[in-house]
Structure 1
Amino acid sequence: MIKNLEQNNEITVIKNAHKPSLVMLIVLTLISIGPSGNLFLEITDGDYSRVFLLSLMSLPLLIFIGVIWTRYFYQMGKYKQELEDYMRDPSDYEW
């Protein structure tokens, strides 16, 4: 019983310590997609005065969005693999 509680506590520690945050990722995505949305609105309204500036801002930010989402999925895969390794043999797990 005590060993089971210790194992559950260790699993909770692993889950809380290493799980990537989705909230920060969503906030960064919403902030970074702003100039692209504004570019789209400027083009649809027919106002081309700031199109060049918005284009220069949008491209790097869209690349940034792709990078942070790719990094998130990579970290999530590592996180799931780490949990599987721990669940397979907790005594053999290296902290």
Structure 2
Amino acid sequence: MAWILLVLAGLFEIGWAVGLKYTEGFTRPLPTTLTVIAMVISIFLLGLAVRTLPLGTAYAIWTGIGTVGTVILGIVLFAEPATAVRIGCITMIVAGIVGLKLAA
């Protein structure tokens, strides 16, 4: 159950990270509200997950999910560059996430 909570926390992290772009510096009320809600949910779920998972592992996986998802959505939604170096770095992050999961 803790792993499911951690994955959900990571997905909400992606949501708030992408949401930051839509807030336009916290000047748009609806995107700002949704972004803050996603932040709170993400941190709450992470907090629940670390009750049973090792803190370092959980935090690294949470940030890894958020990083990979945010980079992918940046490429898809905001036409950020999808260079070989960026894709290679994403691959290394995913490998690290898998490694941490297997080691936990």
Normalising by structure 1, what TM-score? 0.44
* The structure with more radius of gyration: 1
Normalising by structure 2, what TM-score? 0.41
